[in-house]
Structure 1
């Protein structure tokens, strides 16, 4: 069974005649008739009752019609999704991105995209809060976390694994916790923008994840400040792995419980619900996605 025969069948029904479908598809009446007949032969059922005045769907035809419409719609959407990629990208994009990814790669990636497309301007704010896209007039938001708003469309890029880490000097002075529960006896540096709460650290268990409630002398909503506090030997931090990737390689921070941390959050491009987002937004999403995938090992 050929997809184009299904599409042609749906056009015949939609237009109500073989001749109109033939005209719209730049085919002859006989070709349209033969292709619908071929579809019937392949399925082993009659799809249409043909009279000189009108076409009527059989029960089998009614059953097939919705699927045929879906094929037609999917085909059109596939074409629409790439239309305009060869055109010049211009206009303005207002976007919001999280601070860690903004510092790590998005500032450079978005500036590079603007440089490659001189007719485009982008206003990019760094904010860990999930902004209201509609009220704030945002065209695109990059977010890490759980998404629940069904009025938004989300494109998943990759997952961000969190870790528990501390400097060698902190471990030398205070010891290395060997279980998550041992963290309650340590000074835990807290990141105030955790979705589960700054003092609620998530770990794996055989029957699902569980929370260890920690405490400490320092809490911040700034990831860079948290990283510096950990590098200074002032406590243990629970952070996204990408934030301290180079510190781990250099040995200035140690991954303490590498197999036990249960927190892993998706990174998404989010935009308002629409049949097709503007070409400029689609192109920027693809550019950002490629940059994330280039450093996927950081996450």
Structure 2
């Protein structure tokens, strides 16, 4: 009951999500896997999973047991990596959850470079603007922006991202260039709804200190690329991370305004659960992301 095999069996069952998939992965029959899990529960004296025809759900005891099983699995993987020299033989899957804006910018290029170096590691990236529970949903890493709350997770800052207010040359020619924050009330300010403040409150710094200015406009979206497109097509001003429009500012498609008043600058972090036995492939991936974001840090500030 207390062997490593039982822990690994339970880990694979939860990781794969069904008895049939776990049995196929391990090379056993479904009935054997089911009997061994039942025997494991009887030996422990607790129920580990709720079984239904559609899915497996962890009990409270099962959730605790799974975390220990995952640490054993990671320890075994690390040992195998060490014996193989930590070279291109690294294999497996890394699941990463990413806000839409990050998934459309530096990250795809960084992942492509990582995959060239470690072609046998499969990166599974999920674009989602909601706050994902890494442990419950089985993700290895999350890319998150802003202040990190105290938790059992570890957050490594990849880069500091400054925000900018900008508009197209034709829009500014038609509506004038704002020279102070109060001028924003006279402009069509397009809202980005995926941020910690509401879309129509822009963070600025002036003689009153750091505060928000209420703005208004005829377009709001939670998609940063759509917001950028609207600005390029002269619909109004936008307040977005500089990295989103760095090339547009460079080639003149957009022009930054009120640069001395913008107060928003947020850290971008790789967040991952604390574990004593973090898989080597995850360590390598996080370090790769850090180096890649640092390579382009001038575009963020």
> TM-score, structure 2 length as denominator?
0.69
Residue 105 of structure 2 aligns to a residue in which SS? helix
Mapping of residues 93-104 of structure 1, within 5 Å: 93-104=94-105
Q: For residue 178 of structure 1, what is the aligned residue in structure 2?
A: 179
Tell me how far apart the structure 2 counterparts of residues 168 and 129 of structure 1 sit (CA, whole Å).
34
Q: Deviations over 1:160-199 (max 9, x none)?
A: 0001001111111111111111101111001110211111
Q: 1:180–1:276: structure 2 CA closer, same or farther, 3 Å change rule?
A: farther
Q: For residue 51 of structure 1, what is the aligned residue in structure 2?
A: none
Unaligned residue ranges in structure 1 (runs of 5+): 1-79
Tell me how far apart the structure 2 counterparts of residues 243 and 203 of structure 1 sit (CA, whole Å).
19
Q: For residue 265 of structure 1, what is the aligned residue in structure 2?
A: 266
Q: For residue 252 of structure 1, what is the aligned residue in structure 2?
A: 253
Residue 217 of structure 1 aligns to a residue in which SS? coil
Residue 233 of structure 1 aligns to a residue in which SS? coil
Q: For residue 168 of structure 1, what is the aligned residue in structure 2?
A: 169
Residue 266 of structure 1 aligns to a residue in which SS? strand
Tell me how far apart the structure 2 counterparts of residues 215 and 298 of structure 1 sit (CA, whole Å).
28
Q: For residue 200 of structure 2, what is the aligned residue in structure 1?
A: 199
Mapping of residues 103-182 of structure 1, within 5 Å: 103-182=104-183
Displacement of 1:241: 0.4
Q: CA RMSD in A?
A: 1.7
Q: Deviations over 1:268-289 (max 9, x none)?
A: 0000122342111110001111
Mapping of residues 25-104 of structure 1, within 5 Å: 84=82, 86-87=86-87, 88-104=89-105
Displacement of 1:214: 0.8
Q: For residue 292 of structure 2, what is the aligned residue in structure 1?
A: 291
Deviates more, 1:271-280 or 1:192-201: 271-280
Displacement of 1:149: 4.2
Q: Deviations over 1:235-264 (max 9, x none)?
A: 000000000001101111110011110011
Tell me how far apart the structure 2 counterparts of residues 257 and 143 of structure 1 sit (CA, whole Å).
27
Q: For residue 282 of structure 1, what is the aligned residue in structure 2?
A: 283
Tell me how far apart the structure 1 counterparts of residues 138 and 122 of structure 2 sit (CA, whole Å).
15
Q: For residue 35 of structure 1, what is the aligned residue in structure 2?
A: none
Tell me how far apart the structure 2 counterparts of residues 217 and 146 of structure 1 sit (CA, whole Å).
30
Residue 206 of structure 2 aligns to a residue in which SS? coil
Q: Deviations over 1:2-39 (max 9, x none)?
A: xxxxxxxxxxxxxxxxxxxxxxxxxxxxxxxxxxxxxx
Q: 1:231–1:271: structure 2 CA closer, same or farther, 3 Å change rule?
A: same
Q: For residue 211 of structure 2, what is the aligned residue in structure 1?
A: 210
Tell me how far apart the structure 2 counterparts of residues 118 and 186 of structure 1 sit (CA, whole Å).
49
Residue 204 of structure 1 aligns to a residue in which SS? strand
Residue 217 of structure 2 aligns to a residue in which SS? coil
Unaligned residue ranges in structure 2 (runs of 5+): 1-77
Q: For residue 244 of structure 2, what is the aligned residue in structure 1?
A: 243
Residue 238 of structure 2 aligns to a residue in which SS? strand
Q: Deviations over 1:68-122 (max 9, x none)?
A: xxxxxxxxxxxx9xx9483432111111122222221211221332232132111
Which structure has the greater CA radius of gyration? 1
> TM-score, structure 1 length as denominator?
0.69
Tell me how far apart the structure 2 counterparts of residues 197 and 278 of structure 1 sit (CA, whole Å).
38
Tell me how far apart the structure 2 counterparts of residues 90 and 210 of structure 1 sit (CA, whole Å).
49
Aligned length in residues = 218
